[in-house]
Structure 1
Amino acid sequence: MTARPFFDGVNWIGVSTLYRREVQRFLAVAAQTVGGPVVSTLLFLAVFGVALGRHTPAPGGVPYLVFIVPGLVMMAILQNAFANTSSSLLVAKVQGNIVDLLLAPLGPGEFLAGLALGGVTRGLIVGALTALAASLFVPLPLVNPALCLFYAVGGALMFALLGVVGGLWAQKMDHQAAVTNFVIAPLTLLSGTFYAVSTLAEPFRSIAYIDPVFYIVDGFRHGVTGVSEAPPLTGVLFVLVANALLGVLCHRLLASGWRLRQ
């Protein structure tokens, strides 16, 4: 990674070029990277809505389908933001073209910004299309658009940064699949997306409150429906602190060149 002192300024052209590369990379196969996740999420909505819609209580008197749509949208945002950055780094390492990025006049912060913004963009595109498609079947009130935007962008950034860590750590496709299947998927699926955490019996309720994704999903749901199971401020503070810590971690890992070469 090219060393660039902070006071030298930011290579905006390099950051924007890397960002466009990341966006073009997933848009080139949009049917797989965008269309597939949207369809999969809508299938979750159909299956769980039909199977549990009449039997599962939701807090605040919110209809069950209205309750689960924000969680499904956020799940799509988080998973795709993670997938974009982790796959970008891993594929570059496996194919050997990571050298092209390492030789570019980009500092670790600039490299991180281009990668993370690409992941955020993919997550938000998939989330927006999912929300738009779901709204054709389930009317969404959208009580606090600003809060929704905060959690959508903050959550996407958090998982894009996690994707950077995962992509740096992984040395082959099996490693990335293991992180996705055993870490990311459980965190998102067991975060209260399909059920109210407050209805769980102990110790499962306490375990659910430990899941950090719960606070992102719950905060985003509060922005849509006005109903939440945890104080919205808790989620806001968590997103801000987590992104700050992950940003510092990713910057240091990139600056050190940790596992950037096979």
Structure 2
Amino acid sequence: MTDLAPLNELGRPSGLPSPRRYNGINWIGVQTLYLREVRRFWKVGAQTVAAPVVTTLLYMLVFVVALKDARPPLHGTPFAEFVAPGLIMMAILNNAFANASSSLIQAKIMGTATDFLTPPLSPLELTIGFSLGAATRGMVVGLVTAVCVLPFARLGVANLFAILWFGVIASLLMGMLGVLAGLWSEKFDHLSAVQNFVVMPMTFLSGTFYPIERLPEPFRSISHFNPFFYLIDGFRSGFIGHADGSLMIGVAVSAALTLALAVACWLVFRSGWRLKS
């Protein structure tokens, strides 16, 4: 009978390889998770990219082409140029949210959550991977949508920083919100409820198709508590040079909310809520 192999400092047989250790962030794991999320939506691009663009073009046909003569300029801006940035931002918000939320709910229902729970990925790394994957889909859809609406609206660039900041931060924010919604939901009905009763009303009631200043009180004041208002208003101001609210307040609100959602995602992944329990 042979002697047992000696154990190393980790309590494993010395002949077996030790688990790989990572100093700091496991960037290889984060990159792998990110590419997994990107390839997941890109594989069905007709559904995840082309379909939202078609929906936006239908909005443009209804609100701009069909009602062209009935819509006066807003702030000296033709209605088509006013509504186009709002529609682009709406596409960014909805698709960034849908990417993360659908990925997590499908993993939970199909039992494939072990694909990202088993590898050496920390809660922070899971948050980064899923958020960046969702943000990528939001930005891709937003860019394609912007190109497709150009025949209907002449979009200029009045403030490049506002366009980039609010476009990127909106994608990240909604990606993290999608992570939380996907972890909270136990079935697709729950996820649809969040989409229909939270995301969609906040998007439509944030000045996408109208200036907030035309609303009567108290709805005008209430709209300033809607974070989507600052995202859409700031993004639109980058194109037309006019904002209904303060850009600095919009930057501060969007940054603070994104940071808060990042912490919330980290805490939920750390606890394993509805993933490991």
TM-score under structure 1 length normalisation: 0.94
Counterpart check, 1:173 vs 2:188? yes
- 1:41 is matched with 56
SS in 1 for 2:155: coil
Aligned equivalents of 1:97, 1:119: Cα separation in 2: 18
Give the distance between the partners of 1:76 and 1:16, measured in 2 at CA.
25
Matching residue's letter, 1:214: F
1:203 to 198, 218, 226: 218
Residue from 15, 27, 34 that aligns with 1:12: 27
Cα deviation for residue 153 of structure 1 reads 0.3
Taking the aligned partners of 1:139 and 1:56, their CA distance within structure 2 comes to 16
Report 1:221-232 matches (<5 A).
221-232=236-247
* Counterpart among 109, 115, 119 of residue 104 in structure 1: 119
SS at match of 1:89: helix
Other-structure match for 2:101:
86
Of stretches 136-145 and 91-100 in structure 1, the one that deviates more from structure 2 is 136-145
CA shift, 1:48, in A, is: 1.1
**Could you say which structure has the higher helix fraction?**
1
Distance, in Å, in 1 between the alignment partners of 2:77 and 2:49 is 29
* Aligned counterparts of 1:58 and 1:120: Cα–Cα separation in 2: 33
Q: In the alignment, what sits opposite 1:239?
A: 254
Report the AA paired with residue 134 of structure 1. Answer: V
- In structure 2, the partner of 1:22 is 37
Per the TM alignment, residue 41 of structure 1 is displaced from its structure 2 partner at its CA by 0.8
**How far apart are 1:261 and its partner, in Å?**
4.4
Q: Which runs of 5 or more structure 1 residues have no equivalent in the other structure?
A: 1-6
The residue number in structure 2 matching 1:151 is 166
- In structure 1, what is the equivalent of residue 77 of structure 2? 62
CA–CA distance in 2 between the matches of 1:229 and 1:54?
Answer: 24
Q: Distance in 2 between matches of 1:51 and 1:133?
A: 18
Q: Which amino acid aligns with 1:34?
A: V
Matched residue pairs, number? 256
The unaligned stretches of length 5 or more in structure 2 are 1-21
State TM-score, norm by structure 2: 0.89
Q: CA deviation at 1:203?
A: 2.3
- The separation in 1 between residues aligned to 2:138 and 2:23, in whole angstroms, is 31
CA RMSD of aligned residues (A): 1.4
2:203 aligns with 188
Residue of structure 2 in register with 1:4 after alignment: none
Q: Distance in 1 between matches of 2:76 and 2:246?
A: 18
Kindly provide the amino acid, as one letter, of the partner of residue 156 in structure 2: P
**SS of equivalent residue, structure 1 residue 140:** coil
Greater Rg over alpha carbons, structure: 2
Partner Cα separation in structure 1 for residue 159 and residue 26 of structure 2: 36
Please say if residues 166 and 234 of structure 2, whose CA atoms lie closer than 8 Å, have aligned partners that are also in contact. yes
Pairwise CA distance, 1:119: 0.2
Structure 1 runs of 4+ with >3 Å offset: 50-59
Query: Quick one: percent identity of the two aligned structures?
Result: 48
Measure the CA separation in 2 of the matches of 1:29 and 1:155. Answer: 23
